[in-house]
Structure 1
Amino acid sequence: MILSRLAARPIPLVAGLLVALLLPWMIYPPVAMDIACWALFAAAVDLLLGFTGLLPFGHAAFWGGSAYVTGLIALHAGLPFPVAVLGGAAFAALLAVPIGYLSARLRGIYFAMVTLAFAQMVYFVANQWRGLTGGENGLQGVPRELFGVDLSDPFFFYYAGLPIILLGLFAVWRIVRSPFGRVLISIRDNPARAQALGYPVARYKLLAFVLSAGLTGLAGGLFAISHGFASLDEVYWTTSGQAVMMVVLGGIGTLWGGALGAALIVELGDYLATAGFQETGLITGAIFAVIVLAFRRGIWGTAQELLRARAARRAAGRTATAEAAPEPAPAESSGSPAGSRPT
């Protein structure tokens, strides 16, 4: 069944895979890996924002917490980096259980503020626990080893880490397209009705929160391995805001729009930093405002809406043409009239 659904959308799937495979050939490989990590982060945020109706402003705790744990495992255990990344993702999911339990019953701005408060608590712990996290200096010298092979070349590391990103994106897609995802959408649209139908709304929200945090941790751990360090910037609240901005730019509830938003913001930030422009937030903020005002559903969402409207107009035109076409006249019989006899 999964393969049949994938086969139903071969063009977007093949196009996305080609872009992912060719990305380090088109741009600087470390920037390509940053785009891949942020794309998974945005997809995980969209799982809550677009499909559950929860605005998470504290996901920096899971992104940064996983980055620190991944770095510690890679530094002190000497395990291959995929194992370290999975360890960081597991930590993020475990951290999300108490946070989600205390915040999943809230809605709207209250949910956003409570998750932000918890994220700031994680930031405070990371800053004060200098013996473990390095404080303001962070964790440095995180190795990129895969079964004894040093992947210091960012080009080769991109292809070593890309399967983790693709598996994470597939997991998000599978969650959204599953019956569990349909329940999340019903909770987003009308939580009271979902509760009346017998679904434990708070439990579904908690599970969605934990899954989103685990996938965020997967991206954050790989991001730390890619950069070779984990710093306080990863757990700061602006990291959560940047992920939300990527989702809004691409299109809330589109799932793949976040990847487009991540590519735009990361590539624009790298271009401005390379050009020596210091106030990158000024430009990205202005672009964000323009896109939000001009494309209410985001770039990807607006494109989908236009394509659907175009397809609907074509279908209506074909229907109108078929109804206006004259009916064919009945064929005349070439034989003799009934009852007549040849003379």
Structure 2
Amino acid sequence: MSWLKNAWYVAGFQNELDDAKVVARTFLGVPVVMMRHSDGRITALEDMCPHRLMPLSAGKRVGDELECAYHGMRFGVTGICTLAPGQTHIPTQACVRNYPLVQRHGLLWIWMGKPELAAPELVPDIRWNDHPAWTPSRGYHHVEASFQLSVDNLMDLGHESWVHLRTIGQDDEEVIPNYPVKVTVKGEGLLHAHREMPNIDAPPFFAMLLEHQGKINRWQTAVGLAPSICMTDFGVYPVGSSPDGAYRSHVLHLLTPETEKTTHYFWSVARNKRLGDEALTQAVCKAIEQTFDEDAVVLKIQQSQMEKFGGPVPRVALKVDEAPIRARRMLEALVKKESEDPNFVYRPQLMIDDTTPELAMV
């Protein structure tokens, strides 16, 4: 699979490296082990001893070094071997590749491409995960499907009425595809798919958020930022009230390819209301876990079907496929640029501002 490599991908939540923890994950098909040095530095090393290919994560941490479980070789945060038991001379080839790893917005970001191009200012601006004006509910799903299928799923919110009827979907005549979607290219690698849903019954999740059982107005914008970040910006408010007081949330879908058939799905649901309500934070976590569990089931089946009968999908395109197809084409164009110029670096834009959308329903 062709991945965009000269880009920052989410590798985890920042606090995962606290308390001298060692975290092993695979990104873009490459096994990586991450840790924090006692002086605060963080590192991401290829999770493979250069001697006999034993995963370093299968060994143990000794101070600020990783010790291989096979022959006791040790490696520091830069990837250089510091100890080869039984000999004083350490071969110059005894080193492990070091991948750029930075902390930003409460997250760990890894760069799998050319390290000299890894500028920290290229980290996407998703400040809502770690900002005093927003409160996040965070979590993680391991998805048994390609990251591209996950992006398709998030750029096509029309499936909510069938996959998520117990949580965020509408029923009967209020099914989401009945409300027209406006797809807009905002710039290189950035796409918006906006939909407005006035005077609808409140689905269970939104009724909980608003503590309101009557009719609501709802907008939602599916935002796609290459290579693999999506955001669902939604706002809901009771009919008859002002949209300026809407409960608004930025649902951050932070997708990082693990392999060609599996995806790391880090997520953060940042809200602008009831910021100190810890019970609500946990309730949102529970509801979102259920929602994304529903997605994971469909994506796993779809991945299996593609392997059995051949892809790609969709075989027959519908109106709801406009945003997913355009998002794929945008990524393909970026991958093509990188293949033609290995020093090409994509510069991600701000996904969305925080002003209230000008809604036709108002």
TM-score by length of 1: 0.26
Work out which of the two has the higher radius of gyration on C-alpha atoms and give 1 or 2. Answer: 1
Q: Which has the higher strand share?
A: 2
Query: Could you say which structure has the greater relative contact order, defined with CA pairs below 8 angstroms and 6 or more residues apart?
Result: 1
